A and B are shown apart, each in its own frame.
Chain A
Amino acid sequence: MSTTNTNTYLNMQLLRFTTAGSVDDGKSTLIGRLLYDSKSIFEDQMDAVENSSAKRGLEHVDLSLLTDGLKDEREQGITIDVAYRYFATPRRKFIIADTPGHIQYTRNMVTGASTANLALILVDVRNGVIEQTCRHSFIASLLQIPHLVVCINKMDLADYSEEAYDKVVREYKDFASKLDVKDVRFVPISALHGDNVVNRSEKMSWYQGETLLHTLETIHIGSDQNHIDCRFPVQTVIRPHSDEYHDYRGYAGRIAGGVYKPGDEVVVLPSGFTSRIKSIETMDGPVEEAFAPMSVTLNLEEDIDVSRGDMIVRPNNQPEMVQDLDVMLCWFNSKSPLPRAKYIVKHTSNEARCMIKEVLYKVNINTLHRIEDDKDIRMNEIARVQLRTTRPLMVDDYNENRNTGSVILIDEATNETVAAGMVRL
């Protein structure tokens, strides 16, 4: 690598994307293809996959074996958890959250979707939009993944036909009009043969758009974070107790939204004390601007009482301080919530106790229909609920800010994370 390339590497952006799929729709093959064609597979990994393929009596090298990690999965040939994969091109570094697609793994899909900038939705061109497509798209929209790329796969099995592709695109657009998604793109591919994945297909000259990898490399992700509403949840207070920094008191945290500058007037919630930012510190020196998702330390002009769980915001742009929350909840645990059951709720660096006061309705995640006659929440179900917390939380609408609009619920007896929620204001 030359010096220029080294510099390029230092200018790369990070794109996190999620995939969901089941054994047959070619998801693992697609990921294997992306890794293989972008030369992210090492020889010893490839050797291992070739050996495993041969042991199983397969004639071809099964690229899906590159991604199926745990013993049980290898034995059963299924993906049961969220697995993270990494690859890079000279333009971007990619983190793939690879999840299974069956309805009993909704919680895994939701987990993978929570941090993604982009969702890859796989559709078999022969089957068109099916229940699973709807489910994956709904989860992507519910979790507010900013970009959707719909890969219409197995084009080789449909004679690379433009007509077949157009039909699926129409079907999908029809369905997607019911969703809250901002950016949807379509790519006709064959993951098995590599058409339009990394390299442009010679068999689909009618397709003028970009290949999948080119889309992933160039899609604009700069606006995916909220740079308008200033939100700084305090994680911990830094007090060196050394002679050099005798009176130093810094508030450490990761910016959850907006842009902070020295001199900014700020208010600390929930206390309501006001002050100004004296400086924004890092070990590499002070910075003039800090924005999401930077981890920094704020120093304030006044010596006021600030601790973990507090939020430093601007006086003219504050989150809602509420104890009654309207939340879309995804239930993760085999133990269903009992009526008025109490949980620990975690929100940014804050924590309280809460109770599920009321279940408004459940959502059929295949059809998006509301279920109002059965309000018992079971594992992998999504429901709109009312939560009541023991103390106020400083929240935003999830659609405005994923960092300050999300909560998790923890069972007080088992300590398990039992649900994830998206706040609606």
Chain B
Amino acid sequence: MRYSLTHLKELEAESIYVIREVYAQFENPAILFSGGKDSIVLTHLARKAFWPAKIPFPLVHIDTGHNFPETMAFRNALIEELGCKLVVGSVQESIDEGRVREETGKNASRNALQTTTLLDTIERNGFDACMGGARRDEEKARAKERFFSHRDDFGQWDPKNQRPELWNLFNGKKHEGEHFRVFPISNWTEMDIWQYILHEHIAIPSLYIAHKRDVIWRNNSWLPVSEHIKVEEHETVENKMVRFRTLGDITITGGVESMADTLAKIVEEVAAARHTERGNRADDKRSETSMEDRKKQGYF
């Protein structure tokens, strides 16, 4: 078929269109950059959208302080290469300022605290649209998310009162103090992301590729040993070949055992996978609707 695109090219064209709409419709947009593969693909698409110009907005990183060191190194190198601005919102600062209180206990995580830091960072910098790498296939509450998702002046999402979104006509109108979250890769699946990374030769943090690491078995996955977690007496530290399917906080992101040490092998593993990628994220397991509850508060 002569005038037909492959599905990856069609997804790419759609995402570039959405990113350009954000630039055209908003005064002060930004990309929420976690260092994970989805935000890396989003950044790559933003680069395509404005080439040969630079990406005309900053990358925002909400830093929990519980990072994989590899993610930070990757982030800094990418910023250098793109020549665009980096804005860091620090959860540690929010804790020090008394804006949030740190969770305690064995399964403590800074995941929930990020929401406050994120909303503070948006407000301080006056961002009116934040693009994120969330995908609708990730989680059931995200299946109903719009491309242009309106947030009230408390940064909250109201899933029952979303603006209808038709054709390619996106409504980014808002009142003072409100902002938008925009999800240009809404229609991509995990498999699409991996295939695209492979096809486009996009650099990703080494954590995604199988490597040897000290881990413990907790909550049904291999949790990396780091200064931020306490190894219990009954837990044993093992050195395993693992890779990570998502990159979140080092304290809650479990790895899977894997021999996939190249991108092509990862694609094979993803194709054969029998569990969703967020299956190893403790933050999603707190209740049947934990993602929806967090999203309403203003989470990513």
Measured CB to CB, the residues of A under 8 A from B are 1, 5-6, 9-14, 42-45, 48, 52, 69-72, 74, 80-86, 88, 92-93, 95, 107-108, 110-111, 114-115, 221-222, 225, 227, 235-236, 238-242, 244-245, 248, 250, 252-254, 259, 281-284, 291, 293-295, 297, 308, 332, 344, 346-347, 349, 402-403, 406-408, 410, 415-417, 420
Q: Given A70-B292, A283-B47, are A244 and B52 also a contact pair (CB < 8 Å)?
A: yes
A-B residue pairs, 7 tightest by C-beta: A69-B140, A14-B7, A415-B173, A283-B51, A240-B53, A295-B16, A114-B166
Chain B residues closer than 8 Å to A284, beta-carbon distance: 48
Give Cα distance in the complex from A170 to B289, angstroms: 45
B165 within 8 A of A: yes
Contact with A along B245-284 (1 / 0, CB 8 A): 0000000000000000000100110011111100100000
Tell me whether A13 and B53 are in contact (CB under 8 A): no
B107 within 8 A of A: no
Tell me whether B166 and A88 are in contact (CB under 8 A): no
Chain B residues closer than 8 Å to A6, beta-carbon distance: 195, 198, 264, 267
Which one of A13, A70, A244, A250 lies within 8 Å of B6 (CB-CB)? A13
Give Cα distance in the complex from A88 to B11, angstroms: 14
Which A residue sits closest to B139, measured CB to CB? A69
Give Cα distance in the complex from A252 to B3, angstroms: 20
Q: Nearest Cβ in chain B — how far from A288, in angstroms?
A: 12
Q: Given A83-B144, A295-B13, are A332 and B7 also a contact pair (CB < 8 Å)?
A: no
Which one of A11, A82, A417 lies within 8 Å of B171 (CB-CB)? A417
Q: Given A235-B21, A236-B24, are A14 and B276 also a contact pair (CB < 8 Å)?
A: no
Give Cα distance in the complex from A285 to B163, angstroms: 37
Chain A residues closer than 8 Å to B77, beta-carbon distance: none
Q: Given A74-B288, A294-B5, are A420 and B276 also a contact pair (CB < 8 Å)?
A: no
Give Cα distance in the complex from A114 to B173, angstroms: 21
Tell me whether B48 and A282 are in contact (CB under 8 A): yes
Which one of B4, B7, B199 lies within 8 Å of A93 (CB-CB)? B7
Which one of A107, A235, A240 lies within 8 Å of B52 (CB-CB)? A240
Chain B residues closer than 8 Å to A110, beta-carbon distance: 164, 166
Known pairs A71-B289, A222-B1, A308-B24 / 5 extra A-B pairs, C-beta < 8 Å = A45-B276, A70-B160, A238-B51, A282-B51, A283-B48
Q: Which residues in window 137-170 of B have CB below 8 A to A?
A: 137, 140-141, 143-144, 159-160, 162-169
Q: Nearest Cβ in chain B — how far from A246, in angstroms?
A: 11
Chain A residues closer than 8 Å to B288, beta-carbon distance: 48, 52, 74
Which one of A1, A72, A74, A293 lies within 8 Å of B271 (CB-CB)? A1
Q: Given A9-B195, A93-B7, A416-B163, are A346 and B53 also a contact pair (CB < 8 Å)?
A: no
Tell me whether B195 and A248 are in contact (CB under 8 A): no
Q: Nearest Cβ in chain A — how far from B131, in angstroms?
A: 15
By CB atoms of chain A within 10 A, which of B24, B50, B164, B167 has the most?
A: B164
Tell which of B84-92, B120-128, B185-193, B208-216 binds the partner.
Answer: B185-193
Q: Nearest Cβ in chain A — how far from B285, in angstroms?
A: 10
Which one of B23, B159, B171, B272 lies within 8 Å of A346 (CB-CB)? B171
Which one of A48, A71, A293 lies within 8 Å of B10 (CB-CB)? A293
Give Cα distance in the complex from A114 to B168, angstroms: 9
Tell me whether A252 and B49 are in contact (CB under 8 A): yes
Q: Given A236-B20, A254-B168, are A222 and B271 also a contact pair (CB < 8 Å)?
A: no
Tell me whether B3 and A12 are in contact (CB under 8 A): no
Tell me whether B166 and A10 are in contact (CB under 8 A): no
B14 within 8 A of A: yes
Tell me whether A92 and B13 are in contact (CB under 8 A): no
Q: Nearest Cβ in chain B — how far from A164, in angstroms?
A: 35
Tell me whether B167 and A115 are in contact (CB under 8 A): yes
Q: Nearest Cβ in chain A — how far from B96, in angstroms?
A: 35
Q: Given A83-B143, A93-B192, are A12 and B6 also a contact pair (CB < 8 Å)?
A: yes
B8 within 8 A of A: yes
Chain B residues closer than 8 Å to A346, beta-carbon distance: 169, 171
Give Cα distance in the complex from A12 to B136, angstroms: 20
Tell me whether A69 and B144 are in contact (CB under 8 A): yes
Tell me whether A84 and B187 are in contact (CB under 8 A): yes
By CB atoms of chain A within 10 A, which of B5, B54, B140, B141 has the most?
A: B140
